[in-house]
């Protein structure tokens, strides 16, 4: 199964087409940290992270991990061994908070861009996550909750995302 990002507004999963949004600056083959671009390429996806305090465990074959207050995603170029990885939150390490006040990370799936042996500065925290308004992201792919829940029923651990 492959998820296709057909253009900056359309995600296709099997025979389903979902409206989505991507990075403010569009897509790129030469991503860098903070450039507001969504990386082009063919990538595996990781597990589903979800907010148990806000919704029940979704119906999916993906491994599900609860988001707790001590979980973050490292985007700190000073820590090469932790860069672009799930970490235990520390005030000394710059990170993306997974437990947010807004809804965006109630459900999220990391896209395995710059994932295995990550290169510092090439970009981190590239997720499929939620949106309410389709405003451009910092580089992620975002869709409405109802569409995200449908997608979760269709995909599995072998699913890839192709960003054109």
Helix (H, G, I), strand (E, B) or coil at 147: helix
Per-residue pLDDT at 118 = 96
DSSP-assigned states of every residue in 74-138: E--TT-TTTTTSEEE--TTS-EEESS-SSSTTSEEEEB-TT-SSPPTTS----EEEE-SS---BS
* Domain topology for 2-163: L,D-transpeptidase catalytic domain-like (2.40.440)
Q: What's the confidence (pLDDT) of residue 158?
A: 97
- Tell me, what's the pLDDT at 8? 86
User: Which pLDDT score is estimated for 6?
Assistant: 83
Q: Which residues of the chain have pLDDT under 50?
A: none
Domain map (residue ranges) of the chain: 2-163
Percent composition of the chain: helix, strand, coil (DSSP 3-state, to 5): 5, 35, 60
Instruction: State residue 107's pLDDT score.
Output: 98
What was the pLDDT predicted at 7?
A: 83
* Structure confidence at residue 1 (pLDDT): 82
Task: Determine contact, residues 160/42, Cβ cutoff 8 Å.
Answer: yes
């Amino acid at each position: 199964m492959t998820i296709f990002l057909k253009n900056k507004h359309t995600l296709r999963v099997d025979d389903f087409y979902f409206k989505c949004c991507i990075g403010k600056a569009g897509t790129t083959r030469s991503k860098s940290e903070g450039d507001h671009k969504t990386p082009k390429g063919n990538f595996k996806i990781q597990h589903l992270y979800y907010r148990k305090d806000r919704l029940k465990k979704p119906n999916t074959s993906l491994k599900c991990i609860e988001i707790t207050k001590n979980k973050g995603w490292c985007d700190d170029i000073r820590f090469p061994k932790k860069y672009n990885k799930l970490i235990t939150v520390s005030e000394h390490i710059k990170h993306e908070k997974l437990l947010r006040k807004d809804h965006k990370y109630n459900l999220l799936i990391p896209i395995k861009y710059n994932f295995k042996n990550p290169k510092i500065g090439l970009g981190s925290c590239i997720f499929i996550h939620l949106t309410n308004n389709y405003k451009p992201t910092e580089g992620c792919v975002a869709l409405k909750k109802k569409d995200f829940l449908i997608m979760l029923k269709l995909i599995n651990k072998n699913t890839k995302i192709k960003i054109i």
